[in-house]
Amino acid sequence: MKFLCLIFISFLWTKAFAQYSIEVKIDDIRHPQGTLYIALCNDPKAFLEKHLIYSTLKIKSKDTQTIIFKDIAQGTYAIRVYHDINDSGKMETGTFGIPKEPFGFSNNPSKFSAPSFKKSQIAVNKNSQISISLQHY
């Protein structure tokens, strides 16, 4: 009986601290230069401002780009991406704050307004793959 309890406790311990990966494929890249900024967020209130993990990827072609977030704890996350075509280090916007540079979110929500965390959320409870299509204005 003690042996079964130890096995059960070991199983729970492993599940509690499980780490996963998220492979993010980004497509519809129309400009073969600049930098992709990819943010992984687990806070609905800070989804469009802050991030948990941030990564960059230099663009050298129009091919689909892939980035992998590793050692991600189980939970609910959302991903946002923007393509800094001119490498200014910021999202260029025009009239009314409309982005001039390509952007995207997990689950590819409609581009007619800033998406909510809920519309972009993904559940991480196993190794995952998602695709994000950049949106252009």
Domain annotation for the chain: domains and CATH numbers: 19-133 (2.60.40)
Nearest alpha carbon to residue 83 among 108, 60, 117, 115: 60
Query: Per-residue pLDDT tens for 32-50?
Result: 999 999 999 999 988 887 6
Cα–Cα distance for residue pair 36/26, rounded to 1 Å = 9
pLDDT of residue 128: 95
pLDDT of residue 127: 97
pLDDT of residue 112: 75
Query: Which residues in the chain show pLDDT less than 50?
Result: 3-14
pLDDT of residue 50: 63
| Stretch (H or E) spanning 104 | strand 103-105
